[in-house]
Structure 1
Amino acid sequence: MQHHSVQKLVVVIMDAETKEVKERWQFDIECDKTVKDGDFKEVNLKELHALIAGILRQITASVSFLPLLQAPCIFELLVYTDKDMETPEDWGISDPLLIPKAETVNLRAFNTNIHKVDPKVSYKYIEKS
């Protein structure tokens, strides 16, 4: 994040046995590439903590609309970076692990003046009988 190379973070929750994707939490990140590393100190930490707390409250409140996950689950963390970024050798290439015919809910975006984060969650809609 400090080098402005991360464009998107995605947490994918899958059924541990079938590997079917159940939820996909996506955080699109726009970086102001004109900001130098030392300028991070100018971010108001109190405001930043309040913004992050707001996102965490939204994530917690999502249990009211997300389908209940009954089976044991695992997760994958996908990191989308600039093409010229050197990646750790133990990282691999993955497909995007999208959910066919997903329902998507946009969460409230926040802006630190250096990073703009636009979160959303996609999930497999299960019709209630």
Structure 2
Amino acid sequence: MATSQAPTRQAITLKGSCSLVTEFFKYAANTVLFQRGVYPSDDFHMVKKYGQTVLVTQDLALENYLDRFLVLVIISKDSRVPLERWVFDINVIEPPSDSTEPSPQKPESEIQAEIRSILKQIVSTVTFLPIIDDPTVFNILAYTKDSADVPADEWVDTDPLAIEASKSQQVKLRSFSTDVHRIEAMVAYRYEG
């Protein structure tokens, strides 16, 4: 007599987790750039991802540029003043050192639901973020260790493009985690009230 067993999911490896996190960044950045009007809506097309429709750029050069980032800063094109600072903080999840049993594995469906929630929350930020009337540009900031091997011809040291504390508000967004990484998200925006 044959018995059927539910398929066992493999634990997410470091490489798999990095791939999920990188893919999330791509879709999060595209969502921010579309929602905040940094590029015209005609520059985006719809794709189905995480069980929902997500808008992504049709510009290949921009898509390649967005493949690596941690902080996305929207800047006034004319004054170069930072207007919004979207931060995606990556933390490595360390397994408990005193446990001999493996940690429970997080189902991929749960990870995708968490990602879906963050993307929906990014879309909903248009309800409280100030309207941006000025033309804007954006800058990508990546924070690395001093010893990290970074592409010298592509990356340069830069100002953190922080918004002065007296003129900013911060909103913590949802987070998501894999078996290896936890991503905390937030947006700081210029607010002069």
User: What range describes the TM-score normalised by the shorter chain of this pair?
Assistant: 0.7 to 0.9
Looking at both structures, which has the greater relative contact order when contacts are Cα pairs under 8 Å and sequence separation is at least 6? 1
Contact 1:25 1:121 in 2 (8 A): yes
2:156 pairs with one of 92, 113, 117: 92
- In 2, Cα distance between the equivalents of 1:32 and 1:86? 23
CA contact (8 A) 2:111 2:176 kept: no
Please tell me whether the aligned partners of residues 67 and 126 of structure 1 are also in contact (alpha carbons under 8 angstroms): no
Distance 2:79 2:172 in 1: 27
In structure 1, what is the equivalent of residue 137 of structure 2? 74
Structure 2 gap segments, 5+ residues each: 1-13, 19-68, 96-104
Q: What TM-score do you get using the length of structure 1 for normalisation?
A: 0.80
Aligned positions, number: 117
Tell me, yes or no, if the aligned pair for 1:14 and 1:73 is still in contact at 8 Å: yes
Measured against aligned partners, the alpha-carbon deviations of 1:53-90 in whole angstroms (never above 9, x if no partner) come to 11111110001110000011000000112222100121
- The answer on 1:113 being equivalent to 2:179 is yes
Measure the CA separation in 2 of the matches of 1:115 and 1:21: 29
Structure 2 letter corresponding to 1:60: V
C-alpha displacement of 1:17: 0.9
> Does the 8 A contact of 2:171 with 2:187 survive in 1?
yes
Partner of residue 72, structure 2: 11
Greater alpha carbon shift after TM alignment, 116-125 vs 78-87: 78-87
With over 3 angstroms needed to count, the CA separation of the structure-2 counterparts of 1:33 and 1:82, relative to structure 1, is farther
Residue segments in structure 1 that go unaligned for 5+ positions in a row? 35-41
RMSD: 2.3
Q: Distance in 1 between matches of 2:93 and 2:171?
A: 26
1:33 offset after TM fit, Å?
A: 6.6
Q: Which has the higher helix share?
A: 2
- Say whether the 8 Å CA contact 1:104–1:122 is kept in structure 2: yes
Give the secondary structure class of the aligned counterpart of 1:30.
strand
Is the contact made by 2:114 and 2:175 (CA closer than 8 Å) also made in structure 1? no
For the residue of structure 2 that corresponds to 1:88, the secondary structure is: coil
Q: Which has the larger radius of gyration?
A: 2
Greater per-residue strand proportion: 1
Q: Report the secondary structure of 2:109's partner residue.
A: helix
